[in-house]
Structure 1
């Protein structure tokens, strides 16, 4: 369960960290984050990304860190590519793979006529209810959803929107509102403080549940969260902090640990 929550936090931050619009010849940008749960450092995350007016590409890497590295092994890499079309995103592919929950796992998703299609899932997760095709039609992946958020902010000045997110296993309904002017909270080793723009979101899993789960009511409950953005020279808006509540782990926080580097 730690892996799922940490991966969601990292995935959200990675895409949110991307600069609003890079020029075609701009290098990729690398950002580093630290993820905390209940005040303990549980994971380290990095992302290489690039956004252009016409598309995006993001690769992320998440490893167990701090307390979590003592308890379990986790090393997961994810990627997404897609295009911007008429104020929306058209994902091309999404994938995630590595060692987690005691096994090497891999999922790949491609998009056919706007619908996500799982082309690889190893090992099979037969204890989980499959997401019906009609429910995941027009769904996008987590990284594409956050690329959409940054594109919306840059184009309209707000982050209001809604989407369905499919990660190859689970389907989540996500709504986002804002931004509002807010100061970055302190208490998790934040490097970047002061004024920011805050976007608030609510995520709710709606399909892809474990069969006969005793935690079904908890997994179906809506979960609130927030992301704080600051403008950085040459990068545009960057997410410096994100937090949300996970049904099993509780409150989670991820913070940007240094100024993102162009590579």
Structure 2
């Protein structure tokens, strides 16, 4: 979802920011009011020696339902130059092991652009209840049948789960304006570490120059065991300016 944000910082800081966006690539929270802290976790977004953003997540699972909220904000040098704040909330249900979105709310403030959306899903198709669009040509919801929201896609990647559910999955991602996809490939195991190669691909609703320059972003997801489940510990994405790392704090 970060790949949607347009550049808003000057020279070297702008490059840092672009790397952050590439690294997260649609993975992507004031805490959801309905989600009591069951297992909160957070990630630092690191470019070279700099921590440039932080992702804080709270979630709750009950039966086959989930509720998750996240706050994503710039920190350190990036925060000194620009205001960046994402507030996201999502609810849905579990399949086996697919996650199906039921509702999504998002507010985005990059300092240069503000946007907001409130969506629900009916029969697997998103319905936009309200929207302050950040793009002039949003993709119609009818073209996003079977999609999930950006936070649900991120949660599927980041939540603790069994080894056989870590990799080999894909999802369409719709944020009310743009359509993308994420594909997570086969696992590679080395001792107690599993790594999956993955790709986030922009499909529709993005500016033509963005699609031409950055049609997709590759990244790796690394998992380590905690008890009987595996936790996402790092996401890494190579860029022309260096590797962006999203590292779990707890």
- The answer to whether the 8 Å contact 1:74/1:100 transfers is yes
CA contact under 8 A between 2:125 and 2:146: conserved in structure 1?
Answer: yes
On the 8 A contact 2:179/2:205 being kept in 1, the answer is: yes
Q: 1:56 aligns with which of 66, 73, 77?
A: 66
CA distance in 1, matches of 2:175, 2:200: 14
Whether 1:41 and 2:51 are equivalent positions in the alignment is yes
Mapped pair 1:253 → 2:221? no
1:202 positional shift: 0.9
| Residues 58 and 145 of structure 1: CA distance in aligned 2, closer, same or farther (over 3 Å) | same
Q: 1:229 Cα deviation (Å)?
A: 1.1
Aligned partner of 2:92 in structure 1 is 82
Verify the 8 A CA contact 1:176 1:202 in the aligned structure 2.
yes
> What is residue 206 of structure 2 aligned with on the other side?
209
**Match status 1:244 vs 2:231:** no
Matches within 5 A, 1:1-263: 1=6, 2=17, 5-6=20-21, 9=24, 12=27, 28-122=38-132, 124-127=133-136, 129-149=137-157, 154=162, 156-157=164-165, 159-182=167-190, 195-210=192-207, 213-220=208-215, 222-233=216-227, 236-245=229-238, 251-257=243-249, 259=250
Secondary structure of the 2:27 match is: helix
Give the 3 Å change call, closer, same or farther, for CA 133–165 of structure 1 in structure 2: same
Change (3 A) 1:224 1:239: same
The answer on whether the counterparts of 1:3 and 1:100 sit within 8 Å (CA) in structure 2 is: no
RMSD across aligned positions (CA): 3.2
Q: Per-residue deviation at 1:177?
A: 1.4
Greater relative contact order structure (CA < 8 Å, 6+ sep) = 1
CA distance in 2, matches of 1:94, 1:4: 26
Contact 2:178-2:206 within 8 A present in 1 as well: yes
What runs of 5+ residues in structure 1 fail to find an aligned partner? 15-25, 184-194
Structure 2, unpaired ranges of 5+: 1-5, 7-16, 30-35
Deviation of the 1:168 alpha carbon: 2.0
Structure 2 distance, partners of 1:125, 1:69, is 21
Question: Measured at CA, do residues 103 and 109 of structure 1 come closer, stay the same or move farther in structure 2, by a change above 3 Å?
Answer: same
**Closer, same or farther: CA 61–200 of 1 in aligned 2, 3 Å:** same
Length-normalised TM-score, structure 1: 0.74
Say how many residue pairs are matched: 229
Structure 2 SS opposite 1:200: strand
Q: Is the 8 A contact 1:227 1:242 kept in 2?
A: yes
Which piece of structure 1 moves more, 199-208 or 95-104?
A: 95-104
